[in-house]
């Protein structure tokens, strides 16, 4: 095959295709061409016999060498296309590998330009004979005979004895032998003899078409002998898929001689193979004839290095390839790799493979060189630079101590696992508490100053570390222990409680009154004065909803412990926990996971009366269950009409030694799992003093009946006397005996004209005859409805119950200050008269905004009561005194030069007045610049500037003169005040969201608007602003947040530019839901003003939130109420806090 056989083959392939297509048409359809039915068609005629031609050439394996491998591969492709055409015509034309063959004109009849072609059909014998006599067609002289005969199963045998001569050159090829075609398969016994002396013999060579979608193409197998070179064994090992799954039809074909060529074929595209690992793969196109493959001219190769990327991580694999190198002559190319240059101390080397993996062990630049050489000795080289990057900083924060406490500063170190080749490193604080810092050596320093609420606090911080190429954020959590209990001081006179959440805890000696809720209140007597104490003001440090529900001595240490339920904000799981009343330690009792109904009721009951209480938990998803506190085992479960109903009372009605559960409409026997009484708003009474109870209910006739469930006996104890609105029943132990008494009350119509409220106590309930005694209150002019009592309880633990009421007055006569007030009053029965025994002080539930907290611990409040405002002062150890009453619609108070001044506006809210606390007017400013202006909010910024907000515009005034310094039109409306003020040593800044304005304010009242197109666009796109020390200059940046706080932009007020993002400041907010400044923009000692103080997530606690990431740095424990306002005061390394709550309470937590 060194002398290229392609001189005639392409033309011959086309000719045979034309001939056989035409023959098929005439043979099977009986039309076209000239025909002659004469001649021999005998079965014994040797002309119609399938005779294998004689081959006398070389039979040893063809010697395949690097010099001829490309030619061998290409010429085999030509021969395979020829065989495809001989057997199948254009049936499998799409499998022809050469583009030239696929694009040939393969239709129409052969018309001899001279000479003739004669077709003889022998229909009976199913034979056809085609005789060419010097038929000249497209420069080829065809001479000879082609015979076809059909056999069983529509098989066709083609007998060849035909020659093709190039008219111009005289080159001739003669085809003898035969081939069999059965459906999609063909077998060849054909000898091609060439005038140049080279013969090609296809010895039992087979073609088989496969049309499966995952195996689509032609299998080739058999031997091809070339007379002067030897034998090539061809086999197909793999076929590709249909074109719906790939771009080209493909196959893998083996050419075996003295060496083996495994050829990857992409039909109508290219072939590729790699002879050995010493050579690069070679790619030969099939879309055009590669003339340079066969000419005598040698061209130099081209070395090409391809890599995945030019930079790679240290010690990471990088794929490097030289397979894109090429030779114009399609010669095989040997190759050599070398590392020309690399960093000092690097041990990196390279493999001698066409494609290999390079690993750089030390950061720096590596230069690789590839040299390729063709089979004639021509060579080419190429260099490529690879940059190996330094590793990402990896490590942790190392602490020098095992424990740290609040207020005691610490130093920690960033420890990196990287070696010296990844250095140097730069360290920055990504986020952390106020005044935490990290220096150039990775030393973290913090004073650990946060408020001490008596609870350990987890503090989150993160250090950003970077080197020349990589960065990382190392997150850390440190726990600060509370080593001392703070002093908790109540600063207002509020005694507010929700009586609907009250419950009584009974011990052998006394009774205690608690109130369920996000805090645990307790009603006590203090020197005969009723007071409300926070039994558990500082609650657990948890991110979720806490609800205190029950009290018991869980660990039997003689001190009550507190049960609460908790819904986690993190995963919505529901758990039940208890807090040690002595140590404050929190203990999880049970975690129920996520419940379909997230309300759990917790109660404590000694169900089996063994002296050890059980836990009663009720929920629609879990039924109601009694649980052993010691083992946590479920004793029993049961269903009631509403598993979210709280048991009102526990009594033993059937005297079986177990307590039954009293609900609003039934009595449930848990031991026997059955309802033993159903009614409607009934009462129960303990006549024996040992919790053996009977039911008190009103029948359909309005009569009061006493029902003994043990014996099923009932008797009428009071007739239908209160005809006006029915009988009201009150049960309690109102005398000094062991049993409870029943009181009845209601309205009696007198003379059919008026009603009179009367009360009776029922005596001798165990006797057949019940006696009645009228009951009075000590103040005959005052009627207290027994049914309106807030609670019936033994308040002073003398064995006699009191009736406790909450009384109110809307107008306290004779008082200097007019305010809505309330008080709790307790009455006990003395003979036949209820007399007042105890009372709380008058209290209110007003809102307290903290105006000032001075160094002497004096608190000044602005107190709101509807449209009446008061200035209140709480001195150390004392509750609030109401000093000044102001009736206005808008008001603000500010301390200026140690004096307090009031800024106020009243209807129609078009002017503003400044006065002192004694009512002395300082100035009045008319703010009605247009007819629509109406003051909506007054906000003193400092002792020089005052912001007044209206619907249409905002005014900035001088606090000294009341002069309007500038006016800002409102461009978008908010439901609440939306502005941010920040003060620095040099300037003050005001960012007003409603007006989309940023102002720089100077001490001489100079005002500069920071506005340009870039700034304005940033403000237009934002709905939330704050200030933050973003860079290292002296001024803070304005941070504007996108919708839902997903991202931010930092505006530089000095340069009027937008700060660039980086790996350190990414512009993305991780936890946008936490971005809120509803309490404070930042702590006063937070030098960079980097953390919000907010209670937007848990309104009964506050969280300190990083402004750029939204990560919670730390959060307070539960403070026992919904926080309205909070102030902090730092003295040295201690921080105290004063918080006001929406129920009127104000507490100071001081250290």
Task: Return the CATH number at 361.
Answer: 2.60.40.10
The pLDDT-based confidence of 1 (bands split at 50, 70, 90) is very low
Residue 778, Cβ density class (10 Å: 0-12 exposed, 13-18 middle, ≥19 buried): exposed
Contacts of 972 (CB under 8 A, 6+ apart): 993, 994, 996
Which tops the pLDDT comparison, 953 or 9? 953
Contact 92, 84 (CB under 8 A): yes
Pairwise CA distance, residues 680 & 746, whole Å? 18
Contact 937, 949 (CB under 8 A): yes
- Give the model's pLDDT for residue 1028: 93
pLDDT of residue 649 exceeding 60: yes
Could you write out the three-class secondary structure of 1047-1075? EEEEEECCCCEECCCCCCCCCECCCHHHC
Instruction: Confirm whether 919 is domain-assigned.
Output: yes
Of these ranges, 79-93, 363-377, 598-612, 1025-1039, the one predicted with the greatest mean pLDDT is 363-377
User: What percent of the chain has pLDDT above 90?
Assistant: 61
The candidate with the shortest Cα–Cα distance to 405, out of 478, 488, 477, 487, is 478
Pairwise CA distance, residues 694 & 707, whole Å? 6
- Give the model's pLDDT for residue 643: 58
Instruction: Confirm whether 310 is domain-assigned.
Output: yes
The whole-chain average pLDDT of the chain stands at: 88
The candidate with the shortest Cα–Cα distance to 522, out of 713, 795, 307, 262, is 795
- Give the model's pLDDT for residue 4: 54
331 in the same domain as 218: no
Describe the crossing of helices 6-29 and 69-88 by its angle, rounded to 10 degrees.
10
User: What percent of the chain has pLDDT above 70?
Assistant: 92
- Give the model's pLDDT for residue 983: 86
For 929-968, write each residue's pLDDT tens digit. 666 788 989 999 999 999 999 888 899 999 999 999 999 9
- Mean pLDDT for 110-126 is 84
319 in the same domain as 230: no
Contact 549, 602 (CB under 8 A): yes
Instruction: Confirm whether 528 is domain-assigned.
Output: no
449 in the same domain as 421: yes
143 in the same domain as 73: yes
For 489-534, write each residue's pLDDT tens digit. 988 888 888 998 899 988 766 788 999 988 888 999 999 999 998 7
Instruction: Confirm whether 767 is domain-assigned.
Output: no
- Mean pLDDT for 455-475 is 96
188 in the same domain as 92: yes
- Mean pLDDT for 1076-1082 is 89
Contact 429, 457 (CB under 8 A): no
75 in the same domain as 171: yes
Q: What is the CA radius of gyration of the chain?
A: 51
pLDDT of residue 652 exceeding 90: yes
Please tell me the number of Cα atoms within 13 Å of 645 on its side-chain side: 17
- Give the model's pLDDT for residue 976: 52
Instruction: Confirm whether 1109 is domain-assigned.
Output: no
646 in the same domain as 579: no
Pairwise CA distance, residues 790 & 805, whole Å? 5
pLDDT of residue 813 exceeding 50: no
373 in the same domain as 334: yes
433 in the same domain as 383: no
* Nearest 10 degrees: Cα torsion 684, 690, 692, 697: -20
Which tops the pLDDT comparison, 33 or 448? 448
Last residue of a domain, one of 953, 976, 1002: 953
CATH at 937: 2.40.10
Pairwise CA distance, residues 862 & 1085, whole Å? 24
- Give the model's pLDDT for residue 920: 93
- Give the model's pLDDT for residue 6: 42
Helix (H) or strand (E) run with residue 471 in it: strand 471-481
**What's the start-to-end Cα distance of the chain, in Å?**
101
Give me the numbers of helices (H) and strands (E) for the chain, helices first please: 4, 83
Could you write out the three-class secondary structure of 29-89? HCCCCCECCCCCCCCCCHHHCCCCCCCCCCCCECCCCCCCHHHHHHHHHHHHHHHHHHHHC
Handedness of CA 982, 983, 985, 988 (dihedral sign): positive
Instruction: Confirm whether 1137 is domain-assigned.
Output: no
The pLDDT-based confidence of 1102 (bands split at 50, 70, 90) is very high
- Give the model's pLDDT for residue 620: 66
Pairwise CA distance, residues 542 & 569, whole Å? 9
- Give the model's pLDDT for residue 25: 36
The candidate with the shortest Cα–Cα distance to 285, out of 51, 30, 73, 65, is 73
The pLDDT-based confidence of 575 (bands split at 50, 70, 90) is very high
457 in the same domain as 413: yes
Number of domains in the chain: 6
Q: Which domain holds residue 439?
A: 395-481
Lowest-confidence pick of 3-17, 46-60, 143-157:
3-17
Contact 993, 974 (CB under 8 A): yes
pTM of the model: 0.76
- Give the model's pLDDT for residue 984: 82
pLDDT of residue 991 exceeding 70: yes
259 in the same domain as 147: yes
Of these ranges, 178-182, 978-982, 1009-1013, the one predicted with the greatest mean pLDDT is 178-182
The pLDDT-based confidence of 104 (bands split at 50, 70, 90) is low
The candidate with the shortest Cα–Cα distance to 862, out of 853, 871, 854, is 871
- Mean pLDDT for 641-652 is 80
- Give the model's pLDDT for residue 780: 54
pLDDT of residue 13 exceeding 70: no
- Give the model's pLDDT for residue 7: 35
For 845-881, write each residue's pLDDT tens digit. 788 999 999 999 999 999 887 668 888 898 887 777 7
Number of C-beta neighbours around residue 603 at 10 A: 21
Last residue of a domain, one of 481, 499, 532: 481
Report the DSSP pairing between strands 988-992 and 997-1001. antiparallel
- Give the model's pLDDT for residue 975: 56
Instruction: Confirm whether 383 is domain-assigned.
Output: yes
384 in the same domain as 403: no
- Give the model's pLDDT for residue 465: 98
The pLDDT-based confidence of 8 (bands split at 50, 70, 90) is very low
Instruction: Confirm whether 713 is domain-assigned.
Output: no
Q: How far is CA 695 from CA 651, 681, 731, 761, in A?
A: 10, 11, 11, 17
Last residue of a domain, one of 374, 389, 404: 389
């Amino acid at each position: 095959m060194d002398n290229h056989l392609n001189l005639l083959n392409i033309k011959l392939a086309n000719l045979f295709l034309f001939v056989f297509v035409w023959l098929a048409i005439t043979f099977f359809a009986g039309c076209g061409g000239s025909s002659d039915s004469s001649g021999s068609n005998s079965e014994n005629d040797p002309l119609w016999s399938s005779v294998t031609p004689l081959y006398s050439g070389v039979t040893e394996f063809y010697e395949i060498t690097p010099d001829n491998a490309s030619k061998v591969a290409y010429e085999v492709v030509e021969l395979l296309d020829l065989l495809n055409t001989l057997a199948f015509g254009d049936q499998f034309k799409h499998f022809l590998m050469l583009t030239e063959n696929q694009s040939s004109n393969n239709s129409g009849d052969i018309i001899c330009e001279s000479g003739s072609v004669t077709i003889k059909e022998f229909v009976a014998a199913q034979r056809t004979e085609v005789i060419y006599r010097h038929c000249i067609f497209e420069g080829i002289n065809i001479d000879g005979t082609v015979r076809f005969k059909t056999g069983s199963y529509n098989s066709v045998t083609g007998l060849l004895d035909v020659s093709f001569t190039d008219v111009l050159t005289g080159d001739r090829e003669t085809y003898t032998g035969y081939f069999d075609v059965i459906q999609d398969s063909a077998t060849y016994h054909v000898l091609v003899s060439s005038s140049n002396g080279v013969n090609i013999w296809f010895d039992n060579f087979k073609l088989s078409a496969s049309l499966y979608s995952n195996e689509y193409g032609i299998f080739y197998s058999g031997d091809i002998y070339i007379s002067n070179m030897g034998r090539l064994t061809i086999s197909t090992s793999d076929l590709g898929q249909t074109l719906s799954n790939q771009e080209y039809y493909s196959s893998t074909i083996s050419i075996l001689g003295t060496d083996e060529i495994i050829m990857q074929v992409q039909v109508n595209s290219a072939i590729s193979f790699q002879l050995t690992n010493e050579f690069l793969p070679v790619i030969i196109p099939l879309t055009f004839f590669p003339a340079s493959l066969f000419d005598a001219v040698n061209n130099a190769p081209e070395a090409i290095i391809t890599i995945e990327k030019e930079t790679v991580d240290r010690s990471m694999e990088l794929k490097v390839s030289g397979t894109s190198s090429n030779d114009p002559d399609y010669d095989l190319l040997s190759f050599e790799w070398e590392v020309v240059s690399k960093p000092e101390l690097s041990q990196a080397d390279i493999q001698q493979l066409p494609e290999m993996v390079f690993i750089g062990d030390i950061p720096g630049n590596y230069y690789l060189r590839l040299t390729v050489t063709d089979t004639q000795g021509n060579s080419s080289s190429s260099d490529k630079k690879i940059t190996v990057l330094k590793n990402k900083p990896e490590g942790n924060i190392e602490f020098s101590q095992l424990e740290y406490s609040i207020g005691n500063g610490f130093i920690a170190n960033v420890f990196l696992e990287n070696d010296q080749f990844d250095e140097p490193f730069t360290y920055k604080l990504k986020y952390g508490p106020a005044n935490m810092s990290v220096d150039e050596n990775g030393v973290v320093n913090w004073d650990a100053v946060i408020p001490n609420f008596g609870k350990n606090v987890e503090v989150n911080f993160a250090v950003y570390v970077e080197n020349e190429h990589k960065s990382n954020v190392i997150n850390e959590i440190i726990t600060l222990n509370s080593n001392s209990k703070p002093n908790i001081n109540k600063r207002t006179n509020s005694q507010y409680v929700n009586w609907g959440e009250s419950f009584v805890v009974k011990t052998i000696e006394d009774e205690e009154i608690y109130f369920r809720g996000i805090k645990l209140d307790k009603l006590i007597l203090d020197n005969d004065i009723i007071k409300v104490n926070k039994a558990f003001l500082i609650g657990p440090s948890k991110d979720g909803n806490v609800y205190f529900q029950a009290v018991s001595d869980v660990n039997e240490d003689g001190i009550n412990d507190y049960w609460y339920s908790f819904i986690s904000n993190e995963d919505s799981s529901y758990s039940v926990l208890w807090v040690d009343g002595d140590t404050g330690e929190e203990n999880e009792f049970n975690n129920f996971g996520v419940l379909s109904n997230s309300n759990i009721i917790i109660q404590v009951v000694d169900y089996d009366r063994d002296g050890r209480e059980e836990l009663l938990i009720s929920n629609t998803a879990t039924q109601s269950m009694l649980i052993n506190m010691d083992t946590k085992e479920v004793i029993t479960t049961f269903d009631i009409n509403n598993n979210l109903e709280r048991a009102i009372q526990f009594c033993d009605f059937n005297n079986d030694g177990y307590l039954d559960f009293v609900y609003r409409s039934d009595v449930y026997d848990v031991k026997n799992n059955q309802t033993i009484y159903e009614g409607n708003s009934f009462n129960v009474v303990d006549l024996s003093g040992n919790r053996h109870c009977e039911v008190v209910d009103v029948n359909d006739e309005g009569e009061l009946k006493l029902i003994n469930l043990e014996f099923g006996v009932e008797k009428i104890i009071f007739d239908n006397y209160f005809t006006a609105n029915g009988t009201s029943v009150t049960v309690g132990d109102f005398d000094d005996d062991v049993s409870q008494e029943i009181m009845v009350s209601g309205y009696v119509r007198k003379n059919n004209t008026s009603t009179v409220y009367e009360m009776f106590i029922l005596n001798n309930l165990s006797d057949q005859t019940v006696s009645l005694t009228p009951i009075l209150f000590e103040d005959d002019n005052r009627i207290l409805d027994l049914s309106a009592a807030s609670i019936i309880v033994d308040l002073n633990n003398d064995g006699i119950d009191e009736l406790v009421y909450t009384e109110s007055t809307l107008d306290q006569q004779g008082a200097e200050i007019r305010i809505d007030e309330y008080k709790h009053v307790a009455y006990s029965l003395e003979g036949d008269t209820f007399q007042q025994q105890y009372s709380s002080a008058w209290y209110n539930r007003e809102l307290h905004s903290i105006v000032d907290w001075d160094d002497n611990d004096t608190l000044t409040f602005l107190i709101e009561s509807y449209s009446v405002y008061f200035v209140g002062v709480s001195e150390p150890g004392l509750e609030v005194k109401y000093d000044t009453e102001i009736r206005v619609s808008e008001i603000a108070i500010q301390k200026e030069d140690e004096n307090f001044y009031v800024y106020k506006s009243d209807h129609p809210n078009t002017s503003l007045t400044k006065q002192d606390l004694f009512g002395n007017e300082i100035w009045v400013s008319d703010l009605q610049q247009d007819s629509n202006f109406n003051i909506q909010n007054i906000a003193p910024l400092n002792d020089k500037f005052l912001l007044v907000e209206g619907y249409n515009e905002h005014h900035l005034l001088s606090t000294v003169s009341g002069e309007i310094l500038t006016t800002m039109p409102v461009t978008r409306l908010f439901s609440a005040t939306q502005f941010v003020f920040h003060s620095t040593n040099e300037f003050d800044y005001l960012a007003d969201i409603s007006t989309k304005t940023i102002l720089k304010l100077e001490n001489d009242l100079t005002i500069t608007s920071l506005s340009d197109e870039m700034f304005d666009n940033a403000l237009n796109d934002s709905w939330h602003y704050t200030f933050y020390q973003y860079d290292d200059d002296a001024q803070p940046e304005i941070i504007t947040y996108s919708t839902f706080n997903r991202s931010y932009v930092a505006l530089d007020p000095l340069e009027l530019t937008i700060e660039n993002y980086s790996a350190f400041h990414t512009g993305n907010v991780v936890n946008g839901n936490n971005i809120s400044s509803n309490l404070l923009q930042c702590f006063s000692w937070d030098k960079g003003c980097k953390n919000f103080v907010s209670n937007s997530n848990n309104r009964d606690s506050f969280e300190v939130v990083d402004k750029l990431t939204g990560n919670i740095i730390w959060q307070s424990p539960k403070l026992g109420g919904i926080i309205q306002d909070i102030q902090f005061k730092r003295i040295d390394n201690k921080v105290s806090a004063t918080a006001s709550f929406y129920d009127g309470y104000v507490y100071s937590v001081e250290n």
